[in-house]
Amino acid sequence: MGDFVRNLKVFVLFFWLFSTYAVAAVTSEVAQILDEPDVMPVGDEADIRINFTVPVTYLRSFPDGPSDTLRIALSIPDPCVAEQLVIQESKNSPKTNIITPFTLTFPEIIAKGQSGNAVCSITKNRVDTNKTLLVHFETVNTYKVRLGDDNHSIIIRVPLRAEPIATFVTPKLTVPAPPSTADAKELMTSAKASMAAGEYEGATQTFNRLLNLPPNEFSQEAQELVGNAREKNGDFAKAKIEYELYLKLYPQTEGALRVNTRLAAINNGTAKVAENKFSTKKQINQVNQNTIFGSLSQYYYGGKTMTDTTNGGVTSNVRTTDQSALVTSFDITDRWRHNQYDDKLVFRDAQTHNFPSGPNFTDINRLNAAYWDHDDKLLGYMFRLGRQPGNSQGVLGRFDGVFGKYSINDNFRITGVAGEPDNGSHSPILTNRHFYGSALEFGLPSSTVSGNVYAIQQIADGLTERRAVGTELRYFNNATSWFGLLDYDTVFHDVNIALLQGNWTTSNQITFNALLDHRKSPILYGETGLQAVPGAVPLSVGGLRKVLTDQQIYSAIKNITAETDTALLGATKQITPRWQIGGDVRLNRTKGTPGVDLSLIPGGILVPPTPSTGIAYTYSLQAIGTNVVFADDTSVINTSFVDDPHYFAQTLGLTNVATFRTKWHVTSSLSLYHQKGDASQADIKLYKIAPTARISYQLFDNALLEAELGFEKTYSDDNTNQKIRSTRESMFVGYRWDF
């Protein structure tokens, strides 16, 4: 109880400090989407769950074999979010000794220039939505990568860390003797006793310890009984795996008949959980641990642009400082575990201090997280209170509120959520809104099929602006994983999001990935109606309700909200021990809107129809190699071709990441871009070249110094009298300290 009170005081103190700090600033437009990773044991392996605060799509990973460095190619579905990724984030593995420690870096490379594969609907800039997550393990490791159980996470399955073998310093090194038959017999006796008592979870763990011993006279019986223990405990998917392994190892034995009978019962759905099962609750280990970890980083970003415009033989010159800012990011997690309880206090904040003066250079701040997470493993409930990322079950972004979960049994959990969306203190919108919802989760992380069904409602100034029902489904086996999401709004009678993404590996080790994404852009939301009534005072849904009926608001929102469709199909293949090659074809389309005429209403205007953008095709090819230029380096070659209804574009990117003397890391890249517009764009020709170099130095194990220098040369010609040449110089320098 003392630990609880102490940490509650810390929580209140931090909340007060961060709230006071955040009130005086405006919200940052710099995206920070990498969340804290989690580690969960799964049998003799563990799942590293890498969490993001926005949706992500898994594309591919490299290399296929054992390595201390893993690169995971991802795609950010929202180009406007991808455009804001101008700061590299880093996270360390949780404090645990069950797996090899690791460090996450995202994105590995900050894309330069407006030369990507998608267009942000707000800025109209082309954005590269493909990003790479770098995972560096402390030692060589093996892994399997797949989608998470939602579209905000990636799972890396790794083996459990081998327990260190005790050695004793003597005149001669002695090696412990191998386990004896007595050890195996003792484990078998203990496991059978747990089975007899209905403690099947404990029995499973003991059988696994026995099976990890060298083959002995108890191995065959243990392989059968571990499947039986999992079956009686209701873990049918894992029981099936254990039984199938038994049949491979001991096909011509008396036990094979029993195992085949049990396997048939699982396959036809007649297998049942044992009636004498001691408890559906997890065993509680004796734990008393308190850890505090986090990071502090500061980076200075500078940028200058020089533009020469020639029009009718007259040249004008413009020199501007478009960036001069100090970005400070701080995050801290206090985690304490005591027997059945697991509690965390989490705070994350980022502040940008702009040195130039003017309306476009305001000091900005983002309080990303400030929450208390409490998990009771014995009673099967958890809750999270405070500012937290909302990433599933109908919650569409960061919010202030509470999320709770209760385990009905091993396979079903009920959740509830309530709060207010965090729109940022900088927003001119004055709407007061809140939401509440609930969901039923089914399946375990180790299950082949899992997911949830949810219902959620959001109120804005008394108007029900969102009443959605939906489902999130996940399917996973050793060769394939899929995630599906459907969000349907019963107020607008329309689909907000329909998404399906997945990947699968063929027998010849070709990995395919696919994505189908249909969504409202933005989702059906109250503020969208302000486009048709910009004179509403104040700028809020409440202001709209003073001049429009609720039905008029719904109709206006629906008629001026666009729909976007994305489809992607890609493949990856390891062609040599050094090289992996991958590619994809992407289709993007934004449908037209009918518009709305509210010009006869005070403050209202005519919002004209918008045409469809047509289908834009992007063809991309990527090659990743190791030990190409330097020892243990990584080289990446990217090329893409964009076939848009209004222009054609080609991109070539070359990147090399090398390590020298273990502490120095050098990243060099070169990007080339060419675009040619059609007659609707006056046949504009655009050329860009952008070289970049980054150097980082590992000052200590937990401290990093780094700097980057980049140039971008642009030349455009509209085939008339106007030619534009511009040069942008950019740099950053800073440090990151992990504690």
In this prediction, residue 148 carries a pLDDT of: 78
pLDDT of residue 397: 84
Q: Strand, coil or helix: what is 496?
A: strand
Pairing of strands 126-127, 118-119: antiparallel
Strand partners, 585: 569, 619
Q: What is the CA radius of gyration of the chain?
A: 28
Among candidate residues 628, 657, 652, 568, the one with its CA nearest the CA of residue 60: 568
Distance CA 678, CA 688 (A): 18
Q: At what angle do helices 236-249 and 219-232 cross, to 10 degrees?
A: 160
CA angle 427, 496, 150 (to 5 degrees): 90
**Can you give the pLDDT at residue 6?**
44
Residue-level pLDDT at 23: 32
The DSSP letter of residue 374 is E
For 711, half-sphere exposure in the C-beta direction (CA atoms, 13 angstrom radius) is 6
CA distances from 252 to 118, 247, 368 (A): 58, 8, 60
Residue-level pLDDT at 280:
45
- Splitting the chain (739 residues) into consecutive groups of 10 residues, what average pLDDT does each group show? 44 40 36 79 82 83 79 82 77 80 82 63 74 86 80 85 44 41 80 83 84 84 91 85 89 88 86 67 60 89 90 83 90 86 91 84 86 91 92 88 93 95 72 95 82 96 96 86 93 95 87 92 89 86 92 94 93 89 92 92 91 92 88 86 89 89 88 78 80 90 89 85 88 89
List of domains in the chain: 31-164 (2.60.40), 181-267 (1.25.40.10)
Distant-in-sequence, close-in-space partners of 390: CB < 8 Å, separation ≥ 6? 396, 397, 398, 399, 417, 419, 421
**What confidence score (pLDDT) does residue 122 get?**
67
Burial pattern 573-603, b for ≥16 Cβ within 10 A else e, equals bbeeeebbbbbbebebbbeebeebebeeeeb
DSSP 162: P
DSSP conformation class of 229:
H
Question: DSSP string spanning 191-228?
Answer: HHHHHHTT-HHHHHHHHHHHHTSSS-TTHHHHHHHHHH
At 165, which amino acid appears?
Answer: I
How many residues make up the chain in this entry?
A: 739
DSSP states along 548-606: S-HHHHHHHHHHT-EEEEEEEEEEEEE-SSSEEEEEEEEEEEE--B--EE-TTSTT--E
